[in-house]
Amino acid sequence: MRYLTLVVVGSALLSSCGKGEDEVGRPRVLLPFESDSGWGAMDTEGKVVFVMKGVKYLGWFSEGLAPFSPDGLTYGYADTSGKVVIPPKFKVAKGFKDGTAVVKGTLWGVIDRRGRYLIKPEYLAVVPANYGLFWVRLRNAWKLTDTTGRFLGGYYINFYPFNEEGWAKVETPEGWGVVDTGGRWIVKPRYAMVDTAVGGVFLVRDTTGWGYVKGGKVIYWRKVQRLSLDSLDVAPEVKIDLPPPK
């Protein structure tokens, strides 16, 4: 009987396990493992589904595809039967989400399930932003782009992914603000901190005080002499005559 060595990985990886369909249409989880002859995948009962002979690495499946490497240097993708569907031609191959995957050749780009570039490999870094959008690195700044390569909005020096409500906090040289999925400003970048919105109202803070912004307008402002940007504790509360941001 062939000896199998199960690779132990962090529990965080389980959220990206590969899924196909079982005989009754339920999601099928496949677990990568290493054997004496190569890498393969087993089901959650320990039954071997396939072994790719001579392969040096097989990753976790996502959307029915998993990155693999024949030599530890180049990476492609295999399906849940072990068939190579995207030849190994990348230096780095990330998991698929919403039909796209971030890969690296000389530079970073984004491919579809057939291995075709949706975003050309011409960026220093690419980070998924959700909603089919990506943050791409251009020298010392980031841009937001869709899968056609069209830029949305301006340049950013820091960012968060878009949340389920369709907005993201971003930082520019002028400060922190909030953009929608079209790159349009919801809160213009002029604050030291922007916090989570409730009912369309954003909590904003800077060195003169804190307040609420709705529809791009300040609806409340509390002026203080000193403000901790790590909390809403604003002691000592000494009022000063500085106008709120406009």
pLDDT tens-digit profile of 34-47? 999 999 999 999 99
Q: How far apart are CA 27 and CA 188, in angstroms?
A: 43
C-alpha dihedral, 151 to 155 to 158 to 162, nearest 10°: -30
Which residues in the chain are classed under CATH 2.40.10? 1-89
Task: Give tens-digit pLDDT for 196-235.
Answer: 778 889 999 988 889 999 998 999 999 875 544 444 443 3
At 139, the pLDDT band (50, 70, 90 cuts) reads confident
Which residues have CB under 8 Å from 88's CB, separation 6+? 68, 69, 70, 71, 74, 75, 76
What are 233's two structure tokens? 């504790």
Q: Please give the pLDDT value at position 26.
A: 53
Task: Give tens-digit pLDDT for 182-205.
Answer: 999 999 999 999 987 788 899 999
Whole-model pTM: value is 0.78
Q: Please give the pLDDT value at position 225.
A: 56
Higher pLDDT, 13 or 60: 60
At 140, the pLDDT band (50, 70, 90 cuts) reads confident
Residue pair 106/89 in contact (Cβ under 8 Å)? The answer is no
Q: Please give the pLDDT value at position 27.
A: 58
Residue pair 187/204 in contact (Cβ under 8 Å)? The answer is yes
Average pLDDT in the chain: 84
Q: Please give the pLDDT value at position 133.
A: 97
Provide CATH code, domain 1-89.
2.40.10
Task: Give tens-digit pLDDT for 77-118.
Answer: 999 999 999 999 999 999 999 999 999 999 999 999 999 999
Q: Please give the pLDDT value at position 239.
A: 34
Instruction: Give mean pLDDT, residues 49-73.
Output: 97
